[in-house]
């Protein structure tokens, strides 16, 4: 299976903004049975986060959903916070998110590269931040740049919630877990391999290195299950081991 994975991944654009915009430009269907690998089309995963969000994030502040994609989590966040702002590096993703969110008055979407200097400015007094499945697809420089913007966004009152995949195996074991075999690869998975950066893992060790305890207070963390678009009928292949953390910048 390794030669096939290498061949498929070679077609992914090296330019990160281009890769993500081209990916979203080609998506025709989201939700259950759609083409987005990490979109299960249910609210089960979000409901697992809800108590944590209510426990730690200020309900009077707006929330930014970084890497919002088509906005499914942004729309869920709008049920908790006065305003939910989805931001994504892909203009095609933002257009789709806006189209799928019509009628929701406290939701809006913006094209922002949150690894660009100063991209976290513009929320006076601070905002809450929700990140699901972004850090594990960034390189070290991108992760560090994003964290600098998280400090700007959170300000004095905001809090950051992150949820990331933390699969313990190698890339071949990872795609096998998601349903790939030497003879076939589920379509949503193949689309991601063809078009997007190779994912890594993000757990407690990576969090401690990136969000230093000297600069960030860790309020809560633990293991979670990240839901994916179930590509097979095999039990367990619709979830990936993950990690969540709630953090607040030190003054």
Boundaries of every domain in the chain: 2-249
Say how far apart CA 183 and CA 145 lie, in whole Å. 40
Query: Higher model confidence: residue 2 or residue 180?
Result: 180
pLDDT for 153 equals 95
Task: Judge residue 28's burial from the number of C-beta atoms within 10 Å of its C-beta, 0-12 exposed, 13-18 middle, 19 or more buried.
Answer: exposed
Query: Pairing state of beta strands 239-249 and 216-227?
Result: antiparallel
What CATH number has the domain spanning 2-249?
Answer: 3.40.50.150
Instruction: Provide, rounded to the nearest whole percent, the portion of the chain with pLDDT above 90.
Output: 74
For residues 84 and 11, which has the higher predicted lDDT (pLDDT)? 84
Q: 13 pLDDT band (50/70/90 cuts)?
A: confident
Mean pLDDT value across residues 182-203: 89
Average pLDDT for residues 189-209, to the nearest whole number?
A: 92
Q: How confident is the model at residue 233 (pLDDT cuts 50, 70, 90)?
A: low
Residue with tokens 């905002």, as numbered in its chain: 127
pLDDT at 237: 66
Axis-axis angle for helices 16-25, 187-195 (nearest 10): 150
Given a cut of 80, whether residue 54 has pLDDT beyond it is yes
What does the pLDDT look like over 156-170, one tens digit per residue?
A: 999 999 999 999 988
Distances, alpha carbon 59 to alpha carbons 62, 80, 124, 129, 228, in Å: 8, 7, 16, 12, 28
H/E stretch holding 85 reads strand 84-88
Give the 3-state secondary structure percentages of the chain, helix then strand then coil, rounded to 5: 35, 20, 45
User: In this structure, are residues 37 and 109 in contact, taking their beta carbons and an 8 Å threshold?
Assistant: no
Residue 197 pLDDT level (bands cut at 50, 70, 90): confident
Mean pLDDT of 2-23: 85
As a whole number, the mean pLDDT across the chain is 92
Is the pLDDT at 183 greater than 70? The verdict is yes
DSSP secondary structure letter of residue 199: P
């Amino acid at each position: 299976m390794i030669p096939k994975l290498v061949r498929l991944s070679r077609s992914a654009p090296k330019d990160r903004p281009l890769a993500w915009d081209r990916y979203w430009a080609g998506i025709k269907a989201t939700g259950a049975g759609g083409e987005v690998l990490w979109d299960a089309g249910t609210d089960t995963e979000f409901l697992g986060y809800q108590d944590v969000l209510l426990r730690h994030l200020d309900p009077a502040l707006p929330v930014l959903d970084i890497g919002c994609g088509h906005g499914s989590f942004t729309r869920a966040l709008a049920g908790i916070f006065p305003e939910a702002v989805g931001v994504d590096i892909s203009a095609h993703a933002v257009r789709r998110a806006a189209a799928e969110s019509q009628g929701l008055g406290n939701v809006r979407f913006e094209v922002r590269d949150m690894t660009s200097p100063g991209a976290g400015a513009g929320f006076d007094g601070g905002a809450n931040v929700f990140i699901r499945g972004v850090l594990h697809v960034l390189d070290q420089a991108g992760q560090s740049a994003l964290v600098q913007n998280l400090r700007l966004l959170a300000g004095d009152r905001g809090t950051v919630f992150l949820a990331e995949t933390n699969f313990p195996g190698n890339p071949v074991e990872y795609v096998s877990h998601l349903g790939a075999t030497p003879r076939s690869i589920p379509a949503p998975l193949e689309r991601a391999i063809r078009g997007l950066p190779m994912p890594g893992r993000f757990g407690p060790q990576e969090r401690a290195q990136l969000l230093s305890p000297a600069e960030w207070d860790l309020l809560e963390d633990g293991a979670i299950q990240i839901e994916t678009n179930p590509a097979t009928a095999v039990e367990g292949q619709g979830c990936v081991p993950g990690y969540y953390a709630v953090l607040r910048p030190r003054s």
